[in-house]
Amino acid sequence: MENRRNIGRMKRKLMFGVTLMMALVILLLVRLAVIMLVESEYYGQRAKELHERERPIKAARGRIISEDGTVLASNKTVCTISVVHAQITDPERVIELGMDREKVSKSVNKVSSMERIKTNVTKEVGDAIREYGLDGVKVDEDSRRYYPFGNLASKVIGFTGSDNQGIIGLEVRYEEELAGKAGQILTMTDAGGIELKEEGESRIEPVNGDDLIISLDYNIQTYAQQAAYKAYEAKQAKRVSIIVMNPQDGKIYAMVNVPEYNLNAPYTLTEEYSYMTVTEKNDNGEDVTRTISKDELTNEQKMDLLNTMWRNFCINDTYEPGSTFKMITATAALEKGVVSLNDSFYCKGSLTIGGRTIRCHKTAGHGSQTFAETLMNSCNPAFITWGSRVGAEDFFAYMKKLGLLGRTGVDLPGEAGTIIHKLENVGEVELATMSFGQSFQITPLQLLRAASAIINGGTLITPHFAVRTVNEAGETTKVFEYETVENAVSKETGGLMKQLLEKVVSEGGGKRCYIEGYRIGGKTATSQKLPRGSGKYIASFIGFAPADDPQVIAMCIIDEPQGIYYGGTIAAPVIREVFENILPYLGIEQEVVEFSNE
């Protein structure tokens, strides 16, 4: 009995031992399989790392500099601190470098070829660490993009990503010129990670990016941005844009889109974009609007807001220009010879066309007007008449000649194009509304280019920023050239238009842009936003000086102003303020005012 019991116990012990061994073997096999199948790449990589160490040398990104010499986008040196385990002789002192002690300690004790312990350290701290001369500690310098003026021209300049690559604006448009080419250092090490000095190191030098010189003028941009913010606040507007350009060659001196954002923190939503209003259906199927605060936004919603915050409304969006477009209609009518300065038009406050009554903004009517006065008064019925004399086909042909059916070719990404009826669908009513700038959409920059062609002697220019690139040695490496098309408008018509538009400012709807001693031309507009009847408006003004020989053209667009919303009342003074500052700066002298005896 005793024996049989012992045998039974031994059997059970044996069985237990065999089972345990089998389990262990299976575990080992599984682990081996994982190593072979899954981790082999990792171990292979590590084995190689132990023999060859490759460190990239980043190329310095070229700067963006205004033609007046102001650096608008620059680089700041930052350091990355790394430790090489095998080379550390005094681990305690390395750990005491004073950064995140726990993290550093872990990195120091980790057997690996190289561990980064801190990035984005200032150059001062990096230099100080290098001074200690600790074995196994490496300080690598790197450069990060830095914008000295924060939000100045943010929607033009754009910004770069984590690898210093351009993401938006001029930064991405001129990536090729600015980026340069990275170099590398290749060092050989033994299996313990010690650099093999006798093998030497091979080094491929980086090629730094070129500096980009742009036409944007620091002072003009600053003046324009200040004027835009002033109007933005005074009118509690949704946004305010200003473009200042040379109408002769298309050099853009300023492009403002207020509110701007901080280029040094482009992923931080500014106050204006820190919430979102959404319309949702409630349980009864009714639309309910709800405001979502910054903290409740989903990632997708935050990205939508960022994209809106980054938008450049001068080129990324289209709008109905309204009455500033009357300068195009007047030009077309003069070019075709269907009106003369002696023509007169009687406005009784409205005009019925194609069975539809279109009212003049002066409901009592303008009465009898000369052609010049119809432009000064911005009389809708008169312009419907001038437009119908041109006819739909030629109306489109003149729009095309003035570049209004295509993109301007400005050197910024994401330029929007014209939204317009197909010519075959344009009836009397469509042509009538187009004649005073409605029922089609263009970008502000498209209109400014067309206006430039009218006043510069007939040349359709390409609005642009990039002027040239310069290498580290200060040599010009590239001069940018832009397409121009001659004879978009005859000199005769252009000359007449300059006179007529000067009268708009000296005596007509644009008189709030008048500056004593200066000859200024211009046109106002007040457009109703779509859908019509929403009570939302866009007030705008285009002005140029000197009226007889224009050296500068500027445009102001106030989107959704509160209270008074007329372009002549609120947008024209913004351009006057800009001109008062920049005309003397551009060397445009006040002319001697001649007093007549009358």
Just list the catalytic residues.
323
Return the number of the residue (383 or 565) whose C-beta is nearest Zn ion: 383
Least separation in angstroms between CB 347 and Zn ion: 3
Taking CB under 5 A as the criterion, the residue among 379, 460, 496, 556 binding Zn ion is 379
Q: Which stretch binds Zn ion (CB under 5 A): 208-216, 265-273, 374-382, 444-452?
A: 374-382
| Whole-number Å distance between alpha carbons of 38 and 262 | 45
Q: Considering CB under 5 A, how many residues would be counted as binding Zn ion?
A: 4
Q: Which stretch binds Zn ion (CB under 5 A): 214-222, 278-286, 347-355, 560-568?
A: 347-355
Return the number of the residue (61 or 366) whose C-beta is nearest Zn ion: 366
Residues from 400 through 459 that contact Zn ion (CB under 5 A): none
Least separation in angstroms between CB 381 and Zn ion: 5
Three-class SS of 243-305 = EEECCCCCEEEEEEEECCCCCCCCCCCCHHHCEEEEEEECCCCCEEEEEEEHHHCCHHHHHHH
Least separation in angstroms between CB 375 and Zn ion: 11
Return the number of the residue (366 or 464) whose C-beta is nearest Zn ion: 366
Concatenated DSSP letters of 95-106: HTTSS-HHHHHH
Least separation in angstroms between CB 281 and Zn ion: 45
DSSP assigned state of 38:
I
Question: For the window 487-526, what string marks contact with Zn ion as x by the rule CB under 5 A?
Answer: ----------------------------------------
Least separation in angstroms between CB 568 and Zn ion: 15
| Whole-number Å distance between alpha carbons of 502 and 523 | 9
Return the number of the residue (11 or 348) whose C-beta is nearest Zn ion: 348
Return the number of the residue (366 or 449) whose C-beta is nearest Zn ion: 366
| Ramachandran class of 69: left when φ > 0, alpha when ψ lies in -120 to 50, beta otherwise | left
Return the number of the residue (375 or 402) whose C-beta is nearest Zn ion: 375
Sole residue written with tokens 């036409």: 215
Least separation in angstroms between CB 367 and Zn ion: 8
Residues from 227 through 286 that contact Zn ion (CB under 5 A): none
Sole residue written with tokens 């070829």: 113
Q: Which residues contact 548 (CB under 8 A, 6 or more apart)?
A: 498, 502, 519
- Answer yes or no whether residue 366 interacts with Zn ion by CB under 5 A: yes
- Answer yes or no whether residue 347 interacts with Zn ion by CB under 5 A: yes
Three-class SS of 583-596 = HHHCCCCCCCCCCC
Q: Which stretch binds Zn ion (CB under 5 A): 104-112, 378-386, 525-533, 556-564?
A: 378-386
Q: Which stretch binds Zn ion (CB under 5 A): 249-257, 376-384, 417-425, 482-490?
A: 376-384
Intra-chain end-to-end CA distance of the chain, in Å: 146
Return the number of the residue (267 or 346) whose C-beta is nearest Zn ion: 346
Query: Are 85 and 112 spatial neighbours (Cβ–Cβ below 8 Å)?
Result: yes
Taking CB under 5 A as the criterion, the residue among 72, 86, 137, 360 binding Zn ion is 360
Q: Which stretch binds Zn ion (CB under 5 A): 192-200, 333-341, 360-368, 394-402?
A: 360-368
Nearest CA to 452 among 438, 462, 464? Answer: 462
Residue 12 φ/ψ, nearest 5 degrees: -65, -40
Least separation in angstroms between CB 567 and Zn ion: 16
Return the number of the residue (358 or 461) whose C-beta is nearest Zn ion: 358
Would you call 20 exposed, middle or buried from its count of C-beta atoms within 10 A (0-12, 13-18, 19+)?
exposed
Least separation in angstroms between CB 376 and Zn ion: 11
Residue 139 φ/ψ, nearest 5 degrees: -115, 110
Return the number of the residue (206 or 367) whose C-beta is nearest Zn ion: 367
| Whole-number Å distance between alpha carbons of 245 and 236 | 26
Sole residue written with tokens 């075959």: 424
Least separation in angstroms between CB 450 and Zn ion: 24
Q: Which stretch binds Zn ion (CB under 5 A): 379-387, 426-434, 520-528, 542-550?
A: 379-387
DSSP assigned state of 424:
G
Residues from 65 through 94 that contact Zn ion (CB under 5 A): none
Degrees to nearest 5, angle at CA 353 with 349 and 355:
110
Nearest CA to 226 among 174, 153, 296? Answer: 153
Q: Which residues contact 158 (CB under 8 A, 6 or more apart)?
A: 166, 167, 168, 169, 170, 171, 172, 173, 263, 310
Q: Which residues bind Zn ion (CB under 5 A)?
A: 347, 360, 366, 379
